[in-house]
Amino acid sequence: MTIKLLILIISFSWALTASAQSKKEVKQHKIKASAVSTVENGKTLYESKTIFDAKGNEIEKTDYNKEGNIKSFHKTKYNSEGDEIEDEEYDGNNKFVEKRVTKYNMLGEKTEEQFFDIAGKLIKKHIYTYDGKGLKTERKTLDPEGKIIAVKKHVYITK
């Protein structure tokens, strides 16, 4: 019994360390998965589980609620530069929530995010703009017809 508890503690310690690692460290140490949990009053509560590809990208992430049930699950795809290009989200009942497709410009800056429902119908779109220094200046949210429904501005103060 004590050996099992020790193995469990070591496993979770490793998992906590792995999830806090950078993409470079995940790749360097060939980490395939990590988990985050908390032990309270002798009960293990899972917070998240992540699976990585050989390049250190998060390809699957599961988040748990306080009762230990799955809250959400994400499946992610990347382009050859390591940029996230697609994310599918599912709820705790494995029901599809939405799919997000991300586009980038030649400089590797995120220019657009499209959100789709289960039928593949566009729900909304984010359009990003940048200044001459490559700093994000604005995110416009558009409805499926292209009407602007929100604008988030980014302002930077420099010396």
| Count helices and strands in the chain by DSSP H and E runs | 2, 10
Cα separation of 42 and 47, whole Å? Answer: 16
Domain count within the chain:
2
Boundary residue ending a domain (73, 94, 115) = 94
pTM: 0.78
Distance between CA atoms of 111 and 104, rounded to whole angstroms? 5
- Residues 98-107 pLDDT 10s: 999 999 999 9
Which tokens sit at 110? 């995120």
Same structural domain for residues 67 and 22? yes
Sheet arrangement for strand 110-116: 33-40, 43-52, 58-64, 70-78, 84-91, 96-104, 110-116, 122-130, 136-142, 148-153
Same domain assignment for residues 41 and 53? yes
Q: Tell me the per-residue pLDDT of 69-93, one tens digit each, with 9 for 90 and over.
A: 999 999 999 999 999 999 999 999 9
Instruction: Write the pLDDT tens digit of every residue in 32-63.
Output: 999 999 998 888 899 999 999 999 999 999 99
Are residues 64 and 141 part of one domain? no
Question: Is the pLDDT confidence value at 18 over 80?
Answer: no
**How would you classify the pairing of strands 148-153 and 110-116?**
unpaired
Share of the chain above pLDDT 70, in %: 87
Q: Do 115 and 156 fall into the same domain?
A: yes
Q: What is the CATH number of the domain that holds 156?
A: 2.40.128.720
33 and 69 fall within a common domain? yes
Residues 107 and 70 in one domain: no
Tell me which residue range forms the domain holding 56.
1-94
- Of the chain, the end-to-end C-alpha distance in Å amounts to 60
